[in-house]
Amino acid sequence: MSSTLAAVNGELTNSMLLQFIGTQLAKFLTKEHVYKDAYYRVSIENIKSTLKPGDVVLVEGQSRVSSAIQFITGSNWSHAAIFIGKAKSFNHCLIEVKAVEGCKYTDINTYRNHNLRICRPMFLNDKKRMIIIKHLKKKIGSKYDLRNIFDLIRYVYPNPPVPKKFRRNLIGIGAGDPTKAICSSLIADAFKEINHPVLPFADDFNTIVLRHPTYCLPKDFDISPFFQIIKPSPQNFP
């Protein structure tokens, strides 16, 4: 009996240690180093006035994990969130997923000093938009197991020596929850609820074949023919 208890306690200790290491590593990787670019940026107020519920907002992140995702995907966009309108105490609220915090509500003002892009899903009515938002709201509060250190370590080295054609698969490697915590995967899964494609395959008969959400990248919303790029008008421009 005592040996069994000792084994259980040992497993719990190892599990807690891995969780602690994983959490600290995730915080290190996702810490933003905000800087201002020299080039002109559309104001967050203009972006707010342009957004509609169901729009996907792409973010040019400034963290270590962002640098790795940008290299792997060959795109500036390293993060994705979805705009849901007014929620909680936020007038302009996003739903996003972070490795440490999990799925949560976020004020869009959080990204005031980031470059953003609005991707609006095409061919959707208000009913389908609400289905997507309701699906994501059910995920709020979900936490992710950070004990799978391998899933996190891949982001420590921002420029992995991986051939370009295999880089998309690098995002989906691993069965741990950090893989599931990829922001674009969560959003792609929500669009799958209404069978709305993000960046699908085409078979030999040119029939649309939906890609598994795990392999969806932030840049897919940018280049998808099923999402329209919306650019707010610059302020103070004649």
Residue 106 has a pLDDT of 94
- The domain of 97 spans 2-230
Which of 211 and 231 is assigned the larger pLDDT? 231
User: Is 21 within the bounds of a domain?
Assistant: yes
**Which residue, among 180, 61, 176, has the nearest Cα to 111 in the 3D structure?**
61
User: Is 178 within the bounds of a domain?
Assistant: yes
Task: Count other Cβ atoms within 10 Å, centred on residue 108.
Answer: 19
- Domain total in the chain: 1
Q: Which band of pLDDT confidence, cut at 50, 70 and 90, is reported for residue 185?
A: confident
User: Is 216 within the bounds of a domain?
Assistant: yes
pLDDT (average), residues 16-23: 58
Lowest mean pLDDT among 1-5, 18-22, 188-192, 207-211: 1-5
User: Is 237 within the bounds of a domain?
Assistant: no
Whether the per-residue pLDDT at 158 is higher than 90: the answer is: no
Task: Count other Cβ atoms within 10 Å, centred on residue 232.
Answer: 17
Which of 181 and 71 is assigned the larger pLDDT? 71
pTM above 0.85, yes or no: no
Whether the per-residue pLDDT at 117 is higher than 90: the answer is: yes
User: Is 236 within the bounds of a domain?
Assistant: no
Task: Please give the Cα distance from 226 to 238 (Å, whole number).
Answer: 32
Tens digit of pLDDT for each residue in 64-90? Answer: 666 667 677 778 898 899 999 998 889
In 47-192, beta strands by DSSP E = 56-59, 79-87, 90-98, 102-107, 116-121
- Find the CATH number of the domain harbouring 82: 3.90.1720.10
Residue 174 has a pLDDT of 46
User: Is 147 within the bounds of a domain?
Assistant: yes
User: Is 238 within the bounds of a domain?
Assistant: no
User: Is 98 within the bounds of a domain?
Assistant: yes
Instruction: Decide: 26 and 148 in contact? Cβ < 8 Å.
Output: no
Mean confidence (pLDDT) of the chain: 75
Whether the per-residue pLDDT at 217 is higher than 70: the answer is: yes
